[in-house]
Amino acid sequence: MPTPRRRVAAYVIRHRAGPELLVFDHLDIPDAGTQIPAGGIRADEDPHTAVLREVTEETGLDLCPVIGAVGIDHRPHPITGQPRHTHVLHLHAPEDDHDSWIHTVRGTDTDAGLQFACRFVSLPLSGSLADEQDLFLGRLDPDWTTLTRR
């Protein structure tokens, strides 16, 4: 069995009138679905360092402190079936961040140069995110469980 790919995913939450989650859509790959910041952990990184890098690369936000770990998703990749372990972390976004923006992905990874339409959406979500990335939202607060999962 191959070694599982180590990954991170970020629940970046801000609080205005209520809790809101940072999500994005690929402008270059519309069929990819709505997602949260996520990606691989490099050999020299721990999950905390990797999630901060991924959030900055994929959304441009760089002042989102990590609140804590939410859990580890051990599901295989939905298309390839390859094993992976995704460390899901909770981050806090300042309340004064923009509601929506277009960001060009930074860094040297395969998604560099792609454009993401980023936005904050109210919790609970009305439907699931791509790859069921919303699976652990209820661990942060049971009221944040995606409505279609209740």
Domain count, the chain: 1
Domain that holds residue 39: 5-149
- Mean pLDDT over 90-102 rounds to 92
pLDDT in tens, 32-86: 999 999 999 999 999 999 999 999 999 999 989 999 999 999 999 988 999 999 9
Nearest to 38 by CA among 78, 71, 7, 76: 7
Q: How far is CA 49 from the centre of its chain?
A: 14
Asked, as a colleague might, if the bond just before 124 is cis with ω within 30 of 0, I would say yes
CATH no. for residue 112? 3.90.79.10
